[in-house]
Structure formats: C-alpha cells, structure tokens
Amino acid sequence: MEGIIGLEDGTILRGRGFGQEGWVAAEMCFNTSMTGYEEILTDPSYRGQVVALTCPEIGNTGINPEDEESDRVQVAGFLVRRLSRRASNWRNRESLETYLRRHKVPAVEGVDTRALTRKLRNQGAMKGVLATNGMSGEEAVRKAREWPGLGAMDYVGEVSAKKSFEWDPEGKDFPGRLGSETRKMPVIRHRVAAIDCGMKRNILRLLRAQGIQPVVFPAKAKSDEILKANVDGIFLSNGPGDPSVPTYVHATVRELIGKKPIFGICLGHQMLAHALGAKTFKLKFGHRGGNQPVKDLSTGKVSITSQNHGYAVDPQTLPAGKAVLSHVNLNDGTCEGIRLVSGEAFSVQYHPEAAPGPHDAAYFFRQFSDLLDAATKKR
C-alpha cells in the first residue's frame, strides 16, 4: 500500500505503507539516534508525534519485551528510510512490522528521512499527516493544516497512570537493563513519590539501583495524597506535549516545594519551572537524539546527552534569588537544568536514564540519592 506524508507547508512525500492501515495527524519530528528504535517507539514523550528516524535502516534487531519503555507504542506514526523485514538478534521476539500492526500504528518507509529532518531544522516543527489508507496528498495537506496542534491537547492525562501503585516491590524488573555490575538488588533506603507524566521504565530501574523504592502517582494526584504516603522525596517524570497545558501538575509541585527533596527530568524539569513561576517556549525544531552536548555551569564539565523535547525553560523568568540556571545546551545556549538556591530541588531537561543514549549523565540519580540522605539526617 502507498504511504503519504502531507505537511502543513504543502509538501507531499510518498513511500510504502506498513504497520496499521489508516492515517494520523500529528507533529512531525525526528530522532538522530543510531540505535534504540524500540525505546523511542514506546517513549510516552512522543505521544502526539510522528517520528522520523535518520538512521537509514530500521528493524534489524526486531522487537523484544525487555526493551519497551512503556506498555504500548506511544508514537502516533513512524517514518523510516528502509524497513528491514529480517530481524537478526538472539533477543528478537517479533518483527517491527508485526509489532506496529499489533499496536495499530501506521508507518511509512521509502522516504528520505534525512532530507525531511533538514527541512524541519530549517523551517521548524510542522504539523503533518501520515496516511496509508489511500488518502491523496492534497487531502493529507489539508488535514494537517486543520489539526489544532500539540498545545490543544493534554497528552499527560492520556499517558499517566490511572491510580497510584508501588513499582515492582519484589525487584523482579531490576535485572537485565542495568548491566552485570548492578544486577544484585541494593538495599532500599528511601521511598520516593514518582509523579507519572509519561514515565519511562528505565528511570524506575535507575532509581531502584540507588536504593530508592518508587511509589508511582498519577499526574493528577494532589499534594496531600502524595505526602500521606510517607515518602522521603519527589520525582517528576518525563512526558509529552506542551508543558504549559497540565496546570494541575504545576499546582501540585508548587505545594510540594520545600516539603520534600525534588528531582525532575525533561517534562518534570519544565513542571518544576512552571511551579516556580517561570515560563517555557517552543523550540524551532526541538532537541531529539543521543548526542546533545550539555555544560554543567558549576563544574564546567560537558556531557553528551540523550534528549527528546520540543520546549525549553526561559531562564530569564526564573524567580531571582530562588532558582538558578545550572546547565546549558552548547549547541544553542538553551536551558538544560535548574536548581533551587536552597539546594532542596533540581532538574534537568535531558534524559540521564539513557534509553536509548549515552550514560554520561547517570550521576544525577546518585545526586538525588545523596539529597535524600541529607534530608533524612536532618529529620
């Protein structure tokens, strides 16, 4: 079946459809990572987006349940240069094509995804339609222009847990992804409330690796409910969409600041900023891939980081004397981290859990553990 991509600027791209037959309207974005397509597909931060991968061949290693970052495919659609229909890996359980069809996600191959990426970099993020149901290119363009965009949707409410639960209390999900040096489950020293805005599983594993037991709460949980759980700290997760939309999370975090140590990642970083009264803005084309250089302003150290976000915090709007810029992106100078002057909360815009991506920034989980240790000693 033919696959059609229609962009709001009138561009029409044609390829071959696979996965589910149908169409979706979404924001068009890209990812430059060379590996980790299964983690990308199941990352809730991609809700409401069609993802184009610049790596020229996708599907070689197939699909396995161990590499999923959530319980379903989260992308609205998928776009690749060439689909490998033969998977060759000892962990393979299912082909990519079958996997997308089972999760009812349409996809297109045979499109020059690197040319599309250059277009998005030059002209900025665009609304688009991916269709594999016989839709004409002109109709796809029209529907792309009619789609209201990410800012009109509360995607956090779609992907968040529906009720609170204690994650994997017996440690069954701990081994496997952390490497042989950390396969022995550490002694649990702290319980932390993880506010789920669209959390990736490897974040939970890395919290556990530091002796932290996550108690997951829905994004709409109230502060009093969270505090009643007798937790030692608060974790704010990654997630999808416009960070200005889930105001209910802003309100909850605002009420938790100063009561427990707080650590935020990606959307969680933006939730902390909004709770402090700061603003966010939409980037031209976002930061998406596993090779983004970030500088720690306190040490001068540069880390290569994994990122997936289309918005950034405006550091000029941080409350003076209360919060400061802690990390910057060396490509464009945007905010990549903030911390409270009091030291009781900090956050980063990127993904230190590296799923997929480099492990340069994994030390933030140790820093959070140290912050919890210090707060416990004060009690």
Residue of 29, 55, 266, 335 marked active site? 266
Q: Alpha helix (H) ranges present in 20-72?
A: 37-41
Tokens of 52: 């184009």
* Catalytic-residue membership of 266: yes
pLDDT of amino acid 175: 53
137: phi then psi, degrees, rounded to nearest 5: -60, -40
Q: What is the dihedral angle through the alpha carbons of 299, 304, 310, 316, rounded to the nearest 10 degrees?
A: 10
Domains of the chain: 2-147 (3.50.30.20), 155-378 (3.40.50.880)
Residue of 27, 68, 109, 353 marked active site? 353
pLDDT of amino acid 362: 79
* Catalytic-residue membership of 197: no
pLDDT of amino acid 181: 45
pLDDT of amino acid 151: 83
pLDDT of amino acid 176: 47
List C-alpha distances in Å: 115 to 54, 111, 121, 203: 9, 9, 10, 33
Positions of E strands within 20-150: 23-31, 49-53, 57-58, 77-80, 82-83, 106-109, 126-131
pLDDT of amino acid 1: 85
List C-alpha distances in Å: 243 to 55, 141, 208, 266, 327: 29, 27, 27, 10, 19
Beta carbons of 90 and 64 less than 8 angstroms apart:
no
Beta carbons of 13 and 5 less than 8 angstroms apart:
yes
Per-residue pLDDT of the chain (379 residues; tens, 9 = 90+): 899 999 999 999 999 999 999 999 999 999 999 889 999 999 999 999 999 999 999 999 999 998 999 999 999 999 999 999 999 899 999 999 999 999 999 999 999 999 999 999 999 999 999 999 999 999 999 999 999 998 889 999 999 999 999 988 777 765 544 444 445 678 899 999 999 999 999 999 899 989 999 999 999 999 999 999 999 999 999 999 999 999 999 999 999 999 999 999 999 999 999 999 999 999 999 999 888 999 999 999 999 999 999 999 999 999 999 999 999 999 999 999 999 999 999 999 998 887 777 777 778 999 999 999 998 887 6
Residue 310 and residue 30: Cα distance in Å, rounded? 11
Angle (CA) 193-337-179 rounded to 5° is 60
Residue written as token pair 């992106």: 329
Closest CA to 300 of 326, 323, 337, 321: 326
Neighbours of 338 (CB within 10 A): 25
* Catalytic-residue membership of 351: yes
